[in-house]
A and B are shown apart, each in its own frame.
Chain A
Amino acid sequence: MTRDYTKVIGRIDSIASKVYDDLTVSEIPYLQLPSRTKSNIQFDQKLNVWKYGKNMTERSAKSLDGAYMMLRTMYMVDFIKDMIKANKSSTLREMYYISEGWDLAKFNSQPESDSLAEDLEVITSCMREDFKLRPEEDGARVIGNLTVEEVTRNKTKKKIHCQDDVGDSGYSIPYNVEPEKLSFKGVDADFVLAVETGGMFDRLVENGFDTSNRSILVHLKGQPARSTRRFIKRLHEENKLPVLVFTDCDPWSYRIFGSVAYGAIKTAHISEYLATPGAQFLGVTPSDIENYKLPTDKLTKEDIHALKSELTDPRFQESFWKQEIKLQLNLGKKSEQQALAKYGLDYVTDTYLPEKLAEMGMIKK
């Protein structure tokens, strides 16, 4: 099953044409794209997610840096075009190493080339996957009463049941989770529980929380990869499953929730593909620290700075977040998911989660 890339090639060529046409009419060539900053994200009422606003930045060849950037852009789109023609794909890191051979257009570091790939997405309204570029890290793990069907590298379809067909480490989400690669065949669960840390994910698996509470457990692995977020979104939309996010109690974990529920600043151009606006935050909340008398650590300077920055982040303006963040600043403390082990290994599955789920109306007390 080969995808039709005509549209992608057309959009890539339009970049080359823009530059070429500028040159033929003796204009200094330039490309325009939305500025990718916190101050330029807006809530899109129609899509229910946060997207880039109207501020545009111009990449012009008038300055030396701008000209270098443009030359790299030309090389990168040419490379992507070649990959599409040859039906290959590469990781972002591989592309960075390939750029070593681009002479004047070579990058100084991988973040530079990663960020240009994102720029290209923004300019062409394509996705990285359309460019045959994939991230280094694979998607995270899933365990629950769910059957997925994957198109494997041998072009055969394979059904995998995410409890019976997998070991304790679960089903591994591939980097491409679009329908041509992956589809859901049969789900029997009440909600999705997205868990920040591997330690907590394993605890829930060991305690059989997926069976006892009819849940699909997804390990986020810190800041979740695009494919993980896309996977959660599809589960939510196609199977109408509520999504709950269970993280540590610190500002960085709230950002993880933000990127799942609202869309991340860096990828706001594809928020409607990645974000799950219906996702809810389960905990650990600053209120939980008090209610459950959890062991804590002191907030660091960086923590406090991040919390304050969240108070001005347009995505965290709900009263829930304002109250919780202010409470945490008052407490001056943070805590971890695994701090719940203070009351024993089963406390989280026997007491904490059921109480929280009942509070949120997911299960009856």
Chain B
Amino acid sequence: MTEVIAHKLAKKQKEISVAEFFERNKHILGFGNPTRALLTSVKEGVDNILDACEESSILPEVYVEIRNHEEGECKVIIEDNGPGIVKNQIPHIFGRLLYGSRFHAVRQSRGQQGIGISAVVLYGQLTTGKHAKVISKIQEDRPATVTELAIDTNKNRAEVVNRDIIHWDKPSGTRLEISIVADYTRGKRFVYDYLQSVSIVNPHAQITFKEPDGTEHLFERTSEMLPSKCIEIKPHPHGVELGTLIKMSKNTKSRKLSSFLKSEFSSMGDRTTNAVCEKSQLSKDLNPKDMSREQFLALHKAFKKVKIMAPNTDCLSPIGETLIKRSLKHETQEISPEFIVTASRPASVYSGNPFQTEVGIVYGGSLSKDKPVKLMRFANRVPLLYQQGDCVSTSAISSIDWRRYGLEQSSGRGIPSGPAIFLTHVSSTLIPFTSESKEAIADIPEIENEIKLAFRECARKVQSHINKKVRRVKTREKFELITKILPEIAKKSSNMLDKPVPSLDKVITKIMDVVWIEDLIEYEKTSPEPVQSTLFDDSTEKREGGWITKSTIMVVNYKNKPQKFKLYALIPEDAVVGTVTPKPMKITNNFIKWNLDTISPADKIDIFFELAGLDKGDFDENDLYIESINASYVIGADKWEGE
């Protein structure tokens, strides 16, 4: 009698361990080739460090070293000054896939799935056969533990090969050493680019990168301020899958549907809860543990039909325009760009997940004029280096007609060419990546739209910069004309005719025929005692001497009639206003406003204000606007369009 086929097959069917799965699908996780593997290893390590430091309010100091001791093999060393890891957790964190603290949390963080660092350990083990070494110290007066570990790929468990205690100078921190098969020669540039990018969106981090030949690169910290803590929020009904909903009902302590909805989800008040129950025709008093699949389905459908308030967006931690600008400036020093503009959007929501976009444009300098603009993409402060073409930020940028803004773009679509770098940062409690390797953000219309809006705003700023530049050249020319050439013409003609040199005031007014506004910004170092302490009140560290930004604005009336108007100077929200002369009409968070009363022809008024709480260079250009005067009369300021 022949064996039943199903039985025969059953003999072959067995559980596939996660580790085995990884072995066969390592490309999905970013270990597809030796170049990629090097970058992924560094990336997973650094992402973890930054998350850990943020959670424990430590300003991160990251050290990355790569040793290339054998052909085709690298030793990756990643060290931090974080809180350290307790001895018993080390094997789980580094030696077990899908183990982590963040997978279940609805919160903005870098790592999400808990595959990251253990995958690196596994990759190292698979390719070199060597064990990973972890040194960790959790308290200043205690020794550090050294753990050597391997992964049992059948059981998805770590095996501790050796464990010891050593003295380590650091107060606390973790150091990981893993040998992997990697292509350093090719991967080097990616590692450098990645760390530089990390530094741009994590201005609070200090990163050191040591190459095999001993060269050290330091990416300096440009902000002493920790990012605001990301608050964990409950899932929003719009973002919950049916399966998750059922699973949540199994774990809840609530005995009634109404309290289950109110306590386990965000944005669910009494009124919304009643509306959902009514819509789904379910009793508020149902015990969630007793509900049927059909009932859950009805509930899930009702979520979509009832109007539910958007989730609270306080949980997001964007970088902020000033900081983006500052770190872009710091990292693009060699390019010496003409200007940097940034824009950030208010938080928004897709499928119940809060998200926020911030963008920046670096323009000009030694950047190539005929190459496509460089795109820098970030999600939750993590650089995205691959799959640029699949990313929603790329399609958003491509759909804007950049030709109006001084960039080249065939037919007004696609990635423009020109001397610019475009930065996109999306922060969200759940970044919708296109794949497990987390390299591109999926095509979500809400996100695409926000990115577009942010870039449009930036583009307008670029436009205004370009206009300003053109105007400035024109102004310089006119100035040269009236101060140098015209007096010479007058002198020469009167000499030839033996007549006195005529007065030129009126002709100059006629030639200029504008109200001319020119400005100058200077910085002054202040004494170490804090001048203003509003910004860093809760900072425990002693503040070093800061910078005072001094802005001088000169207004000259070159019209032939007296002029009066209102002048606005925009100021960054996080700046503190010091001395202002003459007395302004109004000072808000965003601007200073003056009422300039009657400036006679050929008269000049000097305006001055001071800003504290900014670094040198944070505020490097006045944004001036005018009101109650024909804007075409004025050079150096635009028409005030309201707040």
Which residues of A are interface residues toward B (Cβ below 8 A)?
A: 13, 16-17, 19-20, 23-24, 26-29, 61-64, 67-68, 70-71, 74-75, 77-78, 81, 104-105
A329: min CB distance to chain B, Å: 37
Q: Which of B478, B488, B502 contacts A71 (CB 8 A)?
A: B488
Q: Check if B493 sits within 8 Å of A19, measured CB to CB.
A: yes
Do A28 and B511 touch (CB < 8 A)? yes
Distance, CA A37 to CA B511, complexed state (A): 29
* Chain A binding surface, main DSSP class: helix
How far does the Cβ of A260 sit from chain B's closest Cβ, in whole Å?
38
Establish whether residues A28 and B499, one from each chain, have CB atoms under 8 Å apart when the complex forms.
no
A67 adjacent to B481 (CB under 8 Å): yes
**A75 contacts B507, C-beta separation under 8 Å:** no
A-B contact pairs, 28 of them (CB 8 A): A13-B496, A17-B493, A17-B497, A20-B490, A20-B494, A20-B497, A23-B489, A23-B490, A23-B507, A24-B502, A28-B511, A29-B489, A61-B481, A61-B486, A61-B511, A63-B477, A64-B481, A67-B486, A70-B489, A71-B489, A74-B489, A74-B492, A74-B493, A75-B492, A77-B496, A78-B496, A104-B484, A104-B485
Report the minimal beta-carbon distance from A363 to chain B, rounded to whole angstroms.
58
Cα distance A29–B507 in the bound complex, in angstroms? 9
Residue B504 CB within 8 A of the other chain: yes
- The answer on a CB contact under 8 Å between A16 and B493 is yes
Contact A67 B489 (CB under 8 A): yes
Q: Give the distance in Å from the alpha carbon of A78 to the alpha carbon of B481 in the complex.
A: 21
Contact (Cβ within 8 A) A13 B497: yes
Residues of A near B485 (CB, < 8 A) are 61, 64, 67-68, 70-71, 104
15 new A-B pairs (CB below 8 Å) besides A13-B496, A17-B493, A105-B488?
A13-B497, A17-B497, A19-B493, A20-B494, A23-B489, A23-B493, A28-B510, A61-B481, A64-B478, A67-B485, A70-B485, A70-B489, A71-B492, A74-B488, A77-B496
Residues of the A chain whose Cβ atoms lie less than 8 Å from the Cβ of B506: 26
Contacts of B496 in A (CB 8 A): 13, 16, 74, 77-78, 81
Say yes or no: is B480 at the interface (Cβ < 8 Å to chain A): yes
A27 to B489, CA, bound (A): 13
Q: Return the CB mask of B462-500 against A: 1 if under 8 Å, else 0.
A: 000000000000000110110011101110111111010
Most buried by A among B486, B489, B499: B489
Q: Return A116 CB to nearest CB of chain B, in Å.
A: 15
Distance from B503 Cβ to chain A, minimum over Cβ atoms (Å) = 8
Among B478, B485, B493, B497, which residue has the most Cβ atoms of chain A within 10 A?
B493
Q: Give, as a whole number of angstroms, the nearest-CB distance from B474 to chain A.
A: 9
A284 CB to nearest chain B CB (Å): 49
Q: How many Å from the CB of A308 to the closest CB on chain B?
A: 33
Question: In the complex, which residue of chain B has the Cβ closest to the Cβ of A60?
Answer: B511
* Contact string against A for B residues 501-516, beta-carbon threshold 8 Å, 1 for contact and 0 otherwise: 0101011001100000
Q: A64-B485, A71-B492 are in contact. Are A16 and B511 (CB under 8 A)?
A: no
Number of interface residues of B (CB under 8 A): 23
Q: What residue in chain B is nearest A24 (Cβ atoms)?
A: B502
> Inside 8 A of A28's CB, which chain B residues have their CB?
507, 510-511
Name the residue on A nearest B501 (C-beta): A23
Knowing A61-B486, A74-B492, say if A23 contacts B504 (CB, 8 Å).
yes
- Collect the chain B residues with CB atoms within 8 Å of residue A105's CB: 488
Q: Contacts A16-B497, A26-B510; is A78 near B486 (CB within 8 Å)?
A: no
In the complex, how many angstroms separate the beta carbon of B102 from the nearest chain A beta carbon? 63
Q: Report the Cα distance A26→B506, complex, angstroms.
A: 6
B439 to A: closest C-beta gap in Å: 52
Which residues of B have CB within 8 Å of A61?
Answer: 481, 485-486, 489, 511
Find chain A residues with CB under 8 A from B510 CB.
Answer: 26-28
Of all A-B residue pairs in the complex, the 4 with the closest CB atoms, nearest first, are: A26-B506, A74-B492, A64-B477, A20-B493
With a CB–CB cut-off of 8 A, which chain A residues contact B477? 63-64
Nearest Cβ in chain A — how far from B259, in angstroms? 78
Closest beta carbon of chain B to A101's beta carbon, Å: 14
Give Cα A167 to B488, complex, Å: 53
Residue of A nearest to B509 (CB): A26
- Within the complex, what minimum Cβ distance (angstroms) separates A56 from chain B? 21
**In the assembly, what is the distance between CA of A13 and CA of B499, in Å?**
12
Enumerate chain B residues within 8 angstroms of A27, measured Cβ to Cβ: 507, 510
Q: How far is the CA of A84 from the CA of B103 in the complex (A)?
A: 95
Contacts of A23 in B (CB 8 A): 489-490, 493, 502, 504, 507
| Minimum distance in angstroms from B497 CB to a CB of chain A | 6
- The answer to whether B481 touches A104 (Cβ under 8 A) is no
Chain A, Cβ-Cβ closest to B490: A23
CA distance A74 to B485 in the complex (A): 11
In the complex, what residue of chain B is closest to A20 when comparing beta carbons? B493
Interface-central residue, A27, A63, A67, A104, by most chain B CB under 10 Å: A67
Residues of chain B within 8 A of A19, CB atoms compared:
489, 493
- Within the complex, what minimum Cβ distance (angstroms) separates B203 from chain A? 44
Q: Give B505 Cβ to nearest chain A Cβ, in Å.
A: 8
Tell me the smallest distance from the CB of A147 to a CB of chain B, in Å: 44
- How distant is the Cα of A46 from the Cα of B485 in the complex, in angstroms? 43
A13-B495 Cα distance, complex, nearest whole Å: 11
CA distance A75 to B490 in the complex (A): 12
Let me know if B502 and A104 touch, CB within 8 A: no
Nearest A residue to B484, CB-CB: A104
- Residues of A with C-beta under 8 A to B486: 61, 67
- Report chain A residues within 8 Å CB of B495: 78
Contact A104 B488 (CB under 8 A): yes
By beta carbon, the residue of chain A nearest B485 is A67
Q: Across the interface, which residues of B come within 8 angstroms of A70, CB to CB?
A: 485, 489
Q: How distant is the Cα of A61 from the Cα of B497 in the complex, in angstroms?
A: 19
Complexed CA–CA distance, A213 and B390 (Å): 87
**Taking CB as reference atom, which chain A residue is nearest B477?**
A64
A61, A64, A81, A105: most-surrounded residue (chain B CB, <10 A): A64
CB proximity of B226 to chain A, nearest CB, Å:
53
What is the minimal beta-carbon distance from B475 to any residue of chain A, in angstroms?
A: 11
Complex Cα–Cα for A294 and B197 (A): 74
* B141-173 vs A, Cβ < 8 Å mask (1 yes, 0 no): 000000000000000000000000000000000
CA distance A37 to B248 in the complex (A): 86
**Bound Cα distance A62, B489 (Å):** 13
Closest CB in chain A relative to B70 CB, distance in Å = 64
CA distance A105 to B490 in the complex (A): 13
Q: Which residues of B contact A26 (CB under 8 A)?
A: 506-507, 510
B504: which A residues are within 8 A, CB to CB?
23
How far is it, in angstroms, between the C-alpha of A68 and the C-alpha of B489 when the chains are bound? 9
Known: A104-B484, A104-B488, A105-B488. A20 touches B499 (CB 8 A): yes
Instruction: Please measure, in the bound complex, the distance between the C-alpha atom of A77 and the C-alpha atom of B497, giving whole angstroms.
Output: 12
A104 and B492 CA atoms in complex are apart in Å by 12
With both chains docked as a complex, state the minimum distance between the C-beta of A313 and any C-beta of chain B, in angstroms: 37
A83 to chain B minimum Cβ distance, whole angstroms, is 14
User: Within 8 Å CB of A16, what residues of B?
Assistant: 492-493, 496-497
Minimum CB distance partner of A105 in chain B: B488
A78–B492 CB distance below 8 A: yes
Instruction: Encode B27-43 as 1/0 by CB contact (under 8 A) with A.
Output: 00000000000000000
For the complex formed, measure the closest distance between the CB of A259 and the CB atoms of chain B, giving whole angstroms.
35
| B492 surroundings in chain A (CB, below 8 A) | 16, 71, 74-75, 78
Residues in B with CB closer than 8 Å to A74 are 488-489, 492-493, 496
Say how far A13's CB is from chain B's closest CB, in angstroms. 7
In Å, the complex CA distance between A136 and B485 comes to 31
User: Chain B residue with minimal CB distance to A75?
Assistant: B492
Which residues of chain B have C-beta atoms less than 8 A from A78's C-beta? 492, 495-496
Q: How far is the CA of A19 from the CA of B494 in the complex (A)?
A: 9
Question: How far apart sit A26 and B510, CA to CA, in the bound complex (Å)?
Answer: 8
Contacts of B489 in A (CB 8 A): 19, 23, 29, 61, 67, 70-71, 74
Q: Report the bound CA distance from A24 to B504 in whole Å.
A: 8
Chain A residues within an 8 Å CB radius of B507: 23, 26-29
Chain A contacts of B478 at CB under 8 A? Answer: 64
Chain A residues near B511 (CB-CB < 8 A): 28, 61-62
Q: In residues 565-602 of chain B, which contact A (Cβ within 8 Å)?
A: none
List residues of chain B with CB within 8 A of the CB of A77. Answer: 496
